[in-house]
Amino acid sequence: MRHLHVYAVVLLVAFALVYARVVNAYWIHVAIVSMIYGILAASWALLAGYVGQFSFAHMAFASLGGYTSALLVQWYSVAVPLGMAAGLVLSALFGSLIGWVCLRMRGPYLAIFTLAFSEIVRIVLLSEHQVTSGPAGLRVAPLLQTPSRVPYYYVALGLLALCLTVMGLVVHSRWGLFFRAVREDEEAAGASGVNVVRAKILAFAVASGFAGLAGAFYAHYIGILTPELGSSDQMGLVVAMAVIGGLERLPAAVGGAIGVETLQEVLRSYGPWRFVLFGALLLLTMRFFRNGLLAPAWQRLLEARPVGSVLTSSREVRKGHRA
């Protein structure tokens, strides 16, 4: 089966299109939230897994995108899609700024800085409750005027597809190679002519922009927005999803998000113990399966070749792709 992964993707897409028609509203909701997290996990994976920028400001950007869109719609009666676009743009701009500020910061310092930035954003959103309604939650205008969730499902699907397409194009272009070079060895990348500055800022811009978009869609879907979206716990959830799925393959990160979110719903009866499970799962995956749990499976799909063809070369390629 030469292009096994193509068949798998086609099957998946077919399943996704039909899904909303066959399940009840509750599971549609789960799917929508999963896809939102999918965008968040994949965009974080782009930043962390490809360029090696372990930023903990990601959910802060989701939050900023959400509040920007919600408030623009509320104050200036902007059409919701336009508000969402504004959320994306603002997050992308702020993301680029943070990327620029962090240019010379190495791993742990970048992590600390972005964590600190994220905290400030959360604190300000919480405290300025005249504007944001603080912890009580801001009422957000809905994206679609429909009682059914099904249209939201297709919008989410569309946004996820958009996200994966754009990021996929970046990743398969020479910039994808440059990103990976920067993560492997920033100094050597510079010596090889890679514009490290542009690479980092580009990655931040794209990742943060999509985070903002996801946050905005989330706000206009759920109808209420709190600063909790930008909390450390949410960031941890997205990190867990990306790591468990696989940091270095965007589809794997999405898979991780869908898997974790679905698992969360399935285990809802166990109450807060689910979060401990995810924490443990994250730790176990990091400790023993550093590439993620889904990425190796996806890799196999990509490598599947007709029997008799060069099995040795596929082993060598695998040597190149394993962490």
Partner 1 sequence: MDYAIVQTLNGLGLGIILAVIAVGLTLVFSILKVVNFAHGELYMVGGYFAYYTITLLGLSPFPALVVAIAASFLLGAVLERSLLSPLYSDATERKAEYGILITFGLAVALRNLALILFGPFPLRPPSFVIGVQKWGPFTIANDRIVAGGAGIVLLAALVYFVQRTTWGQALDAVSQSRESAAIVGINPRRVYTLGFGLGAALAGGAGALIAPIFSLSPSMGILRDTQAFVIVILGGMGSVPGSIIAGILIGLAESLFTAYFPDPTRALSYSNAFSVLVLIVILILRPTGILGRRHVQME
Partner 2 sequence: MNQDEALVRAVRLCKRFGGITAVDAFDFSVRQGELVALIGPNGSGKTTLVNMLTGHLNPESGEIFLRGRRVNGLPSFEFAALGVGRTFQMSQPFRRLSVLENMLVPGLTRPRSTREATAACARVHLKFLGLAHLETLAARNLSGGQQKLLELGRALMLEPLIVFLDEPFAGVHPTLRSEIIERILELNASGRTFVVVDHDMEAIQRLAGRLVVMARGRLIADGPPDRVREDQAVLAAYAGV
- Establish if 168 lies at the interface with partner 2 (CB under 8 A): no
24 touches which of partner 1, partner 2, none (CB within 5 to 8 A by kind)? none
138 touches which of partner 1, partner 2, none (CB within 5 to 8 A by kind)? none
- Establish if 229 lies at the interface with partner 2 (CB under 8 A): no
52 touches which of partner 1, partner 2, none (CB within 5 to 8 A by kind)? partner 1
- Establish if 323 lies at the interface with partner 1 (CB under 8 A): yes
Among 94, 152, 153, 178, binds partner 2 (CB under 8 A): 178
- Establish if 181 lies at the interface with partner 2 (CB under 8 A): yes
Residues in the chain: 323
CB of 260: closest distance to partner 2 in angstroms?
26
Q: Please report, for residues 76, 136, 150, the alpha-carbon distance to residue 70 in angstroms, rounded to integers and kept in the order given.
A: 10, 15, 22
Distance, CA of 164 to CA of 36 (rounded, Å): 12
Only one of the segments 4-12, 31-39, 235-243, 310-318 lies at the binding site for partner 1 (rule: CB under 8 A); that segment is: 235-243
Tell me, residue by residue from 257 to 286, as one string, x for binding to partner 1 by CB under 8 A and - for no binding.
--------------xxx-xx--xx-xx--x
Among 101, 141, 177, 304, binds partner 1 (CB under 8 A): 101
Among 115, 263, 267, 317, binds partner 1 (CB under 8 A): 115
Least Cα distance to 286 among 256, 318, 317 occurs for 256
- Establish if 194 lies at the interface with partner 2 (CB under 8 A): yes
Q: What are phi and psi of 139, to 5 degrees?
A: -80, 130
